Structure 1
Amino acid sequence: MNETMICAVGNVATQPMYRDPGTGMSARFRLAVTARYWDREKNAWTDGHTNFFTVWANRQLAANTMASLNVGDPVVVQGRLKVRTDSRDGNTRAWADIDAVAIGHDLARGTSAFRRTGRPEPAAPTTPPAQPEPNWETPVGTSVTGDDTAPPVESPADASAEAENAKQRREPVAVT
């Protein structure tokens, strides 16, 4: 719950790699995020430092990542930041990973055509619903139970009394 969520805007730096271990499918790629700033001396935009992140996508996001992304594509990635460190031979190395929640093309830098993926059909309910759907279009002067003997409401006093009774019975009221 106390996770560091980030949104990174950059370019796909490596071709996404797919794997399907026993725990479920996943995909990963490297994301290059370069800071840009306005250089007043040159009177132009200048590239700053580039940060590289390993982006991990799981389940359906992994399949969609493999079908949609290529090297150089401008993307927006939202996910959980995870920093790993390793100390070997006196050298300490650090890696920054993003466990992606959402990945999409950066539409500020180009266009994209969205195609919805197929979803498995939901399972049919095994038990019928407890109550049928109410008929909200009950004609005036007809009760919900189908009894056509209910008289139409005529006076404002009768209308408020009928509305109160219907509220207690949780029935819709037809007001003329």
Structure 2
Amino acid sequence: MNETIICAVGNVATQPVYRELPAGPSARFRLAVTSRYLDRGKNEWTDGHTNFFTVWANRQLATNAAASLNVGDPVVVQGRLKVRAEVREGQSRTFADIDASAIGHDLARGTSAFRRAARPETAAAGAPARPEPDWETPLAGAEPQQAVETLPVT
């Protein structure tokens, strides 16, 4: 399956629209991507042409995008490019959509504070929860913890 995967860097142009659908959460927003070039005559950076994409996010990405993004935010979007043509009122129009697999703030242009989203409970009721692994580095001189499970030696 040959798909066009792109990475677009731009600004959120419209407030994300969030919807709960039977297939799960969905969100969309417009992304403005403006090229910049050095005008050697004026010796300054100048804005070039602006391309607009409709970015579509689904499931948890949709929920997080709607809660995190605002108009004007600099973002990086990665996903599948889908170009479609439609005829409206006798005029042919072409649209470029991005089916997003990842969206994030562009940290080259500012800072962001990450907050992990709460996961919905998917385990069956009454099923024991898996314990979190101990990722902390032991203190110097402390004895290593015993392994919980051992494999038989063959």
State the TM-score, normalized to the length of structure 1: 0.70
For 1:68, give the aligned amino acid.
Answer: S
The number of equivalent residue pairs is: 132
Question: Deviations for 1:48-88, whole angstroms, at most 9, x for unmatched residues?
Answer: 00000000000000010011000000000000000110124
The residue number in structure 1 matching 2:100 is 100
Please say if 1:133 is aligned against 2:139: no
The CA distance in 2 between the partners of 1:89 and 1:66, in whole Å, is 32
Please say if 1:57 is aligned against 2:73: no
Q: How does 1:34-49 map to 2 (within 5 A)?
A: 34-49=34-49
Instruction: Name which structure has the greater RCO, CA cutoff 8 Å, separation 6+.
Output: 2
The CA distance in 2 between the partners of 1:122 and 1:90, in whole Å, is 49
Q: How does 1:13-162 map to 2 (within 5 A)?
A: 13-121=13-121, 123=123, 124=127, 133-134=149-150
The CA distance in 1 between the partners of 2:122 and 2:90, in whole Å, is 55
SS at match of 1:20: strand
The CA distance in 1 between the partners of 2:99 and 2:55, in whole Å, is 6
5+ residue gaps, structure 1, are 126-131, 136-143, 145-168, 171-176
Question: Deviations for 1:138-168, whole angstroms, at most 9, x for unmatched residues?
Answer: xxxxxx7xxxxxxxxxxxxxxxxxxxxxxxx
Q: Which has the larger radius of gyration?
A: 1
CA RMSD of aligned residues (A): 1.9
- More strand by percentage: 2
- More helix by percentage: 1
Residue 23 of structure 1 and its aligned partner are, at CA, apart by 1.6
The CA distance in 2 between the partners of 1:19 and 1:88, in whole Å, is 25
Report % sequence identity: 76
The CA distance in 2 between the partners of 1:121 and 1:21, in whole Å, is 19
State the TM-score, normalized to the length of structure 2: 0.80
1:89–1:18 Cα change, 3 Å: closer
Q: How does 1:161-176 map to 2 (within 5 A)?
A: 170=154
The residue number in structure 1 matching 2:5 is 5
